[in-house]
Amino acid sequence: MGFGQFLAAPEYDLKIITYRDIFQNTALESSRGGEEYLNRSAVIKIDVNDMKKMGFKEKSNVILKNSFARVVVSVQLSEYEEAHEGIAYMTNSPWSNALVSADDGTGVPKFKMITATISDAKDEKITTYDI
């Protein structure tokens, strides 16, 4: 056992924007709750500069949390060419929906600017949901 096991992983602030993805929707229809759906849905896409700064490796697991939920998802590089440090993207899914506030005063959830922190999940597995 090393001393490092007692240290918490550093947390970084993110703004998460959700979007729809036709490939994820197809996976949902063909294998509701299956591995393909999980691989397309339990993912956060971040800027290459954020990936370097945070020390994450492609397809490693990370923890996303805010005052509404804590979920473990896979991290991937964003496909956008323009830098968007501090802004990440997730498909509409149970993983992103868990982080959405249910009470913003208007009755309409805020899916486009979710505030959360991200940190290394170490050996944790992706959060599971019964879909």
pTM of the model: 0.85
Give the tokens for residue 32.
Answer: 């509701």
**Distance, CA of 40 to CA of 36 (rounded, Å):** 6
pLDDT digits (tens, 9 = 90+) for 67-111: 999 999 999 999 888 889 999 999 988 899 899 977 665 666 677
pLDDT at 125 over 90: yes
pLDDT value of position 129: 78
Domains of the chain, first to last: 11-120 (2.40.40.20)
Average pLDDT, the chain: 86
Which amino acid is residue 37, in one-letter code?
Y
**Distance, CA of 78 to CA of 131 (rounded, Å):** 26
